[in-house]
Amino acid sequence: MAKKHSFNYPLMICLGLVVFSLSACSTTQPRTGKSKKNEAYLSAPEKDVNQWRQMKFGLFIHWGPVSLKGTEIGWSRGGERRGHSGTGSVPAEEYDNLYKQFNPVKFNADEWVQIAKDAGMKYLVFTSKHHDGFSMFDSALTEYKITNSPFKRDVVKELADACHKAGLKLGYYYSPVDWYHPDYRTDNHDRYIEFLHGQLREICTNYGKIDIIWFDGLGGKPKDWDSENLIKMIRKLQPHVIINDRAGLPADHDTPEQRVGKFQNDRPWETCMTICRQWAWKPDDQLKSLKQCIQTLVRVVGGDGNLLFNVGPMPDGRIEPRQVERLKEMGDWLNKYGQSIYATRGGPFKSGPWGASTHKENTIYLHVLNWTDDVLTLPPIPNKITDGDLLTTGKLTIKQTSESIEISVSKEHQQEIDTIIKLKIDGPANKITPRALPSGSLTTGKKIRASNFFQNKPQNAPEKAVDDDDSTRWAADYGIKQVWLEVDLGKQSTFDRITIREEYDRIRQFELQYKDSEKWVTFLKGKKIGKKYTKTLEPVTARHVRLNILDATEGPSIWEFQLFAPKK
């Protein structure tokens, strides 16, 4: 059995006392007080948050000794996961000793930073410590760290120096979860909290200006990390830092993961997503196409969020060349069309299957990602359109009335990835109330029920499958393989087109049925649904329609279930 690495408890206790002193003197109110002065630490200054929002695009990097195995960081570690169920595929003893072989001699912080800049990214966030407990910096509080590997160098320091030199904003991911530390979620958890606070103090003290702290607490509560005192300390040491919502407190922004967040302009948010499928490096992992990458960025920014796009460097320290090439392609696109992304806000037209919109001052940018014909029809706005132009190529025509806006672009000028239309209006676009472009589905807003939905949680209720919002979904419980979703159209209605958007590609067999008196009649059968299933069929007239899922690999989830009337 390999010997566990020691933790420097005397130093941790000293740091803990200092942390407590700093926290205690940061407010004159008791911890239970609700005064503005007592709660000021919860949010960064509005100016700093706005500057972060304007950057729009950042590089996330998940890396550590686990890259030697090509398995997922943290999650592939075997052994007990205190506070979480399950275990990983790599035995804990093997996983915990990978660092002894880790010697990424081709790591070059300046190259990583240049890759981010070439991609058009404005900030970088690096994993200083993941759930596996391994510190990628020279912490004085543990022997389980990068400077005790054959590599011996402090990766966090070299990245800090490179970012500061190049003018790239710098952030560090830190997991409060630690399946390696002997005191984590035991009777001695208070000692772990001292360790946690001590390491964050090191990060916020030893590496110059830090712009972002990105926690990943797996749903932990504030008491699990003593989050109030932790965040007070961080803001004392780094007054302009942006902090996410994963340490049990809301802090500065929300963090939807591996999905585009819903349209939300009343609170900042940031989608974190991988360029491949796995967070850490995996040989021959499936790489997203340029179209997927650009359209993800556009939909995130159109929803008023930021995109933190992840790469997992290889064991030798290089970011995989094909990932570098894809990021460079994104940078080339942003060099041409970045005016429609950077320093914009989402809206005033909410994202939908057609695409997304952004705005800045008196300018609206329409990102048309899917054309159904030559005309895009948008809801009306109170302002007059004074000018219109195609940023991509070609000409357009605009017809504006009190009922709609119609924009025509010929097929030869409709771009496969993104057709960008620039509109000038006679007033500030941020005064327009954001509106969605109706899909025209007969199911939108109709009564709907399901045989099951995930833990009866409102955010996964069946209504989410007919709300015309691609960022919400109905989901069934884990382990459910047969389930149905039934919509009441309110009256006998005729439809001849179906669109179903599924998440996670779990459905293996399904049928669509309509109710004839008291009998269900099957009119369509299929196997996989996938991200977008569309089908044109002979017209069906019915009031009640059911999606009957007959087999799934796991609890299925549907973004939208749509039926469309025949075109006139």
pLDDT tens digits, residue range 321-343? 999 999 999 999 999 999 999 99
Q: Write out the residue range of the structural domain in which residue 322 sits.
A: 47-178+255-336
Backbone angles phi, psi at 436, to 5 degrees: -90, 150
Same domain? For 373 and 279 the reply is no
Q: Letter for the amino acid at 473?
A: R
pLDDT band (50, 70, 90) for residue 26: very low
- pLDDT category, 42, cuts 50, 70, 90? confident
pLDDT of residue 341: 98
Higher pLDDT, 270 or 35: 270
Report whether 228 contacts 188 (CB < 8 A). Answer: no
Quote the CA–CA distance of 362 and 381 in Å, as a whole number: 13
Residues 371 and 451 in one domain: no
Token code pair at residue 100: 């002894």
> Binning pLDDT at 50, 70 and 90, where does residue 38 land?
very low
What b/e sequence results for 116-136 when a residue is b if at least 16 CB atoms lie within 10 Å of its CB, and e otherwise?
bbbbbbbbbbbbbbbbbbbbb
Q: Which of 200, 208, 105, 215 is nearest to 162 (CA)?
A: 208
Domain finish residue from 436, 460, 476: 436
Mean pLDDT in residue range 489-497 = 97
The 10s digit of each residue's pLDDT in 239-279 is 999 999 999 999 999 999 998 998 999 999 999 999 999 99
Is residue 261 located within the same domain as residue 406? Answer: no
Q: Is the pLDDT of residue 71 over 50?
A: yes
DSSP string, 278-320: SSS--TTPPPPPHHHHHHHHHHHHHTT-EEEEEE---TTSPPP
Last residue of a domain, one of 436, 469, 493: 436
Name the DSSP class of 567.
P
Domain at 474, CATH number: 2.60.120.260
Q: Residue 115 — very low, low, confident or very high, per pLDDT cuts 50/70/90?
A: very high
161 shares its domain with 262: yes
Q: Which of 407, 436, 465 is the last residue of a domain?
A: 436
**Mean of per-residue pLDDT scores for the chain:** 92
Residue 238 lies in a domain: no
Range of weakest confidence among 87-101, 458-472, 540-554 = 458-472
- Note whether residue 307 is domain-resident: yes
State whether 56 and 111 are in the same domain.
yes
Number of domains in the chain: 3
pTM of the complete model: 0.84
Q: Do 456 and 373 reside in the same domain of the chain?
A: no
Average confidence (pLDDT) over 484-502? 96
Whether residues 401 and 468 fall in one domain: no
